[in-house]
Structure formats: structure tokens, C-alpha cells
Amino acid sequence: MNQPHQRPAAASLITKLEPSRSDLFRDRPMPGGERATVYLDRKGGLYQSDRPLTAGEIAINKPRTVYLVDTAVHPFTLALDLPAQEDAFPFHAEVSARWRVGDPCEAVRTSLSDAGQVLAPYLKQTLREISTSYAIEERPAAERAMIRYFSDQGPLPLPQGVLLVHCSVSLSLDGPALEELRKRKQHEWNAKEWERQNTTIHRNAALEEAQETNRHARERAEAEHQLRLTKRRMDFYGQALEGGQEVLIALQLASSPGEVNNVLALLMQRDQMDFETAKELLSSLLENRLVNHSDVQGIMSQASTVIASQLSRASVGLPSGGIPIAAPPPPPRPAAVPDSTASAPITAEILLDPPPYYGDDDDDD
């Protein structure tokens, strides 16, 4: 669709005069303003004068013809379709230009009558060369490129003396092109959204993988740590077991200080049980006449040393393992004895009740 529009100027663009010598003397053409004067001399040459002819010029070299050329600025509009990067959907262009006759002699020589026949082909060709570099979704960029091209060129001389002073272009899209553009934008949005979601999925997967790797690393480190602690405990408890019962008791007290009273009670109960067991054993021996009082005296002297040692440690608050603890309450004391025996060694007479009296064997005989 090419529709050039301009003001009809064929009748007034170039006015041809063939004055006589007397007409020239009487009414000499006055150039200036928006009109140029072009003369055709006797030899057929065209020349432009920016002043009136003198009387000598008229007498000696009278021009054969005088042309009055309109040099005013004229508007020109053009509506056309320009191909886009894809041939199926064109740009619709509205061109608004201004022009004037820049070379009056050339305009006369080529008999310029319609500047639109010069402007329209040139504008169409130039704009097509620019538009084919842009897709329909790049319409604003294409429009700016066209305007910038003519702005950079400045006043542009064209054939037949026409001078293109200014040109601006406005691009638009028709219905089918707009629908296609909408589909393309939707497709582009879908592609970007898919890419965004895909990037998010990959980022989350990488994050989860990193977290899983860190979790496994922490679990391995924790397992190795627990293994080292177990080995240390095994070594420690092994050494404690080698140290005997007192070391185990000390270990229990170190790990559970609140159990000290219970441990002390157990120790005292154990010592009391040892004491009572020894007492019952001696009583049984005496009752069954397996030992006499002189034998018991030697046995008790040895037992007294052990018991005294145990009691001595308890009196200063030290168990057999050597750990300072609070002194346990004293065990039940035996029956009261005379003061004369308080400082004497522990003997069977103190530990045991007096043996039963069986009388004199000789008397029985």
C-alpha cells in the first residue's frame, strides 16, 4: 500500500516566462524569498541570478526564457507497508517528510513537476533496507533506526533538484501481526518461566545434595567420635577393672557423686558382714571343740590386725581405694567390757561370748 500525498504544485512549482527586451526593461524579475529566478541564455545555458538583471545584461545578452522556481518548503506524507525480518508480517509505516527545491537549475533542466515521484521511490527503498533487519517484536527499535538515519543524513539532495529537509517515520502492526506478536511474547514468557523453574529445581537439587553430603559427613564424624570415645572408655574401664574393686568404687563415685552415701553404706555393710562371719566361724569351732582357747588367741591376733586396719581407714574417712570420703557412722559396738580391757588387743573373749561351761572331764570320770 503506497499512497503519496502532497500539495498540487505542478502549476506553480516552475513558471515559464518568455519576455521581450522591453518587458525585461519594464518589469525585471526580482529573486528572493521563496522564489528563485533561472535564465536560459541564447546558447541554451541555464543560470541562476540572485539579483535583477542590469540594463547592459538585457541589451547585450538578453535571456531567451525566464523561469520562476518555487523554493518554499513543502510537506509530503506517505503510507506504505514495509517488510519485517519475516516476510509474513509487515510493518505499517506512516512517513511524514518536508522537502523543497534545492537546485532550481536542475529542477528546470529536468522539468520537475511532481516531487512525490522523486520522494516516494527513494523513501520506500531506504526504509525497506532498514526494516528487513528487524522482527515485528522489535518495532520500536526499527522505528528509532529509521528516524536516526534521516537525522544523521541532514538535508539530503535527491534527483531533479529536490532537497529532503526532514523525515520522520511511525511504525505500527496490523491485526494478524499483533496476534502473532502476542503469541511470540507468550511463548517467550513461557520459555523464560520454564528456564526459571528449571534453574530453581537444579538449584534446590544442588542444595539438597550439598545438605545430604554435609549430613553424611556429620554422621560419619559423629560415628568416628563415638567410636573414639568407646575405645577410650574401654581402655579406661579395663584399667579400672585391673585395679580391683576399690578402683571401680572410686569410678562410680567420680561419675555419680550423689551416690557417696550409698557406697559408704555398702562398704560398712561389707565390713560388718566380714566381722560377723568371722565371729560365727570361731563360735562354731569352739562349740564343736575343733579349736581351744589358745588356738583362738592366735587366730584373733591376726584378724585383729586386719579389722584394726579397716577401722583405722574408716576413722579418717578413707575407703580401701584411698579416695577421701566422709567418715561412715561407726558400726555397732560390742558389749561393754571392763576398763582394764579397753586398751588390750582384740581377743576371742571380746569378740565372742564366754564359751559354755562343760565341767571337769576328770570329775566325770
289 DSSP 8-state letter: T
Q: Nine-digit cell at 168?
A: 520522520
Question: Do 251 and 263 meet the contact criterion of CB atoms below 8 Å apart?
Answer: no
Compute the distance between CA of residue 276 and CA of residue 25 in angstroms, rounded to an integer.
170
Full-model pTM: 0.49
Angle between helices 116-131 and 139-153 (to 10 degrees): 130
**Per-residue pLDDT at 74 exceeds 90:** yes
> Taking a C-beta distance cutoff of 8 angstroms, is the pair 118, 158 a contact?
yes
Average pLDDT, the chain: 75
Per-residue pLDDT reduced to its tens digit, 305-335? 655 565 555 444 444 444 444 444 555 554 4
The answer to whether residue 356 scores a pLDDT higher than 60 is no
CA distance 109 to 97: 24
pLDDT of residue 365: 43
CATH number of the 3-173 domain: 3.30.479.30
Q: Mean per-residue pLDDT for 59-87?
A: 86
pLDDT in tens, 196-206: 899 999 999 99
Instruction: Give the whole-angstrom CA distance, residue 27 versus residue 23.
Output: 6
Phi first, then psi: what are they for 256, rounded to 5°? -135, 80
On the question of pLDDT at 73 being above 80, the answer is yes
Helix (H, G, I), strand (E, B) or coil at 18: coil
SS3 359: coil
pLDDT at 67 over 60: yes
225-247 pLDDT, tens digit per residue, is 998 888 887 777 677 667 666 66
Element at 91 (helix H, strand E): strand 91-101
Q: What is the pLDDT of residue 47?
A: 83
Cross-sheet strand order for the sheet of 162-172: 3-6, 74-82, 91-101, 162-172, 156-157
